[in-house]
């Protein structure tokens, strides 16, 4: 079994990004990222803090617009408009989830697609589906980078994705189809999950349920990518996969933490540099 070390790869990518930023700065350009954080969700706060720290490490300017839970939609839209017009800001992201009274689609559609470093705007999602150059959501993009680094060939592979959200499962499926894999997407209403996962060469799980994928659900030699992040009662982080029992039968597997998570942040930085170069 080979451990897919997302942390190591993310560090390598960030070193390269640091060099890119230095070059841009020589031309008097400092990449800038604006993050909008609404409410007090502790997980969102942790993610935003990590993103801001990563920006600082590579020399990207970042600003966090914090807003209270009861903020009006109009205020968020106005802030996005200002960021769209601000020449010092190259990338904009709105940390999800949003409070219930806010229309998420309206917010994401307000971001200039050229600054949409999370790749959630319908314009970018559409281009991704058509296999055209676009901003690709950071988590599935990070998974593709892992495949590239470890020279895992996707052509003709049977891939089962568990979790079909707009930010993880669906863009992951588009990327894999574009790479000529055969893709099976499962979700909460899938009748027999094991029947799908068991026959896959590659199982990619992004659900948010610790221990969802057990050893009997994965075939020998499978490649397992665990996107899930769950905080256990003992305070530790875990993915969606029963790692200890599944790892011995896999050919490759990502750990949690240290797998897909750090790659998501590295891809955000990479998308911010891409937006700056545009
Ligand atoms: P979401 O709630 O939007 O989507 C969850 C998906 O899982 C849905 O499609 C749902 O139908 C499916 N699902 C739920 N229960 C299921 C079950 N029992 N069997 C099969 N499918 C089931 O969540 P999300 O935003 O896509 O996030 C999913 C997980 O990935 C979370 O744990 C989140 O923390 C994690 N995540 C990690 C990163 C990272 O950087 N590693 C980034 C984004 C999300």
Q: Express each pLDDT in 16-53 by its tens digit.
A: 999 999 999 999 999 999 999 999 999 999 999 999 99
CB atoms inside a 10 Å sphere around CB 84:
15
Residue 269 lies in a domain: no
Is 277 annotated in the active site? no
Domain match, 60 and 169 both: no
Residue 270 lies in a domain: no
Domain match, 142 and 108 both: no
Segment 135-148 shows an average pLDDT of 98
**DSSP structural state of residue 135:** -
Domain match, 252 and 153 both: yes
Output the pLDDT for position 143: 98
Domain match, 104 and 145 both: no
Domain match, 190 and 88 both: no
Segment 135-144 shows an average pLDDT of 98
State the CATH number of the domain containing residue 197: 3.40.50.720
Segment 102-130 shows an average pLDDT of 98
Cα separation of 33 and 272, whole Å?
Answer: 7
Is 51 annotated in the active site? yes
* Ligand 1 centroid to residue 163 C-alpha, Å: 5
Quote the domain boundaries for residue 32: 28-112
* Ligand 1 centroid to residue 209 C-alpha, Å: 8
Output the pLDDT for position 23: 97
* Ligand 1 centroid to residue 179 C-alpha, Å: 23
Number of domains in the chain: 2
Domain match, 58 and 147 both: no
- What percent of the chain clears pLDDT 70, i.e. is strictly above it? 100
**239 CB under 6 A from ligand 1?**
no
Is 104 annotated in the active site? no
Helix (H) or strand (E) holding 156: none
Catalytic residue among 20, 51, 157, 240: 51
Domain match, 51 and 156 both: no
Give residues with Cβ within 8 angstroms of 252, minimum separation 6. Answer: 1, 2, 3, 4, 150, 152, 223, 224
Cα 171 to chain centroid, rounded:
10
Average per-residue pLDDT for the chain: 97
Residue 8 lies in a domain: no
Residue 98 lies in a domain: yes
For residue 186 the two structure tokens come to 């499962």
Diameter over CA atoms, the chain? 56
Contact 241, 234 (CB under 8 A): no
State the CATH number of the domain containing residue 58: 3.40.50.10860
Domain match, 147 and 106 both: no
Cα separation of 135 and 127, whole Å?
Answer: 9
Cα separation of 243 and 235, whole Å?
Answer: 17
Domain match, 147 and 105 both: no
Domain match, 80 and 150 both: no
Domain match, 168 and 247 both: yes
Residue 127 lies in a domain: no
Residue with tokens 């933490």: 257
What are the tens digits of pLDDT across the range 207-251?
999 999 999 999 999 999 999 999 999 999 999 999 999 999 999
Record the pTM: 0.97
Residue 1 lies in a domain: no
Among candidates 237, 231, 241, 240, which has minimal Cα distance to 257?
A: 237
Domain match, 148 and 256 both: yes
Residue 268 lies in a domain: no
């Amino acid at each position: 079994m080979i451990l897919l070390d997302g942390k190591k790869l993310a560090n390598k990518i960030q070193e390269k990004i640091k060099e890119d930023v230095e070059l841009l700065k020589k031309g008097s350009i400092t990449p800038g990222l604006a993050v909008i954080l609404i409410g007090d969700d502790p997980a969102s706060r942790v993610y935003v803090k990590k993103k801001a720290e990563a920006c600082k490490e590579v020399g990207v300017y970042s600003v966090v617009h914090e807003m209270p839970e009861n903020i009006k939609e109009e205020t968020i839209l106005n802030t996005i408009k200002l960021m769209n017009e601000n020449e010092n800001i190259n990338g904009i992201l709105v940390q999800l989830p949003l409070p219930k009274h806010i229309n998420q689609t309206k917010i994401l559609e307000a971001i200039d697609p050229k600054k949409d470093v999370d790749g959630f705007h319908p314009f970018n999602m559409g281009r991704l589906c058509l296999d055209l150059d676009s901003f690709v959501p950071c988590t599935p993009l990070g998974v593709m980078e892992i495949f590239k680094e470890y020279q895992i060939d996707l052509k003709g592979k049977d891939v089962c994705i568990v979790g079909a959200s707009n930010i993880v499962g669906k863009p992951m499926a588009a990327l894999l189809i574009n790479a000529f894999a055969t893709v099976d997407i499962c979700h909460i209403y899938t009748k027999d999950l094991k029947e799908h996962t068991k026959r896959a060469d590659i199982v990619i799980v992004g659900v948010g349920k610790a221990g969802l994928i057990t050893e009997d659900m994965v075939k020998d030699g499978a490649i397992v990518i665990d996107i899930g992040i769950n905080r256990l009662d003992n305070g530790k982080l875990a993915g969606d996969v029963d790692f200890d029992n599944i790892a011995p039968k896999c050919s490759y597997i990502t750990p949690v933490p240290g797998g897909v998570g750090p790659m998501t942040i590295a891809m955000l930085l990479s998308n911010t540099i891409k937006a700056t170069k545009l």
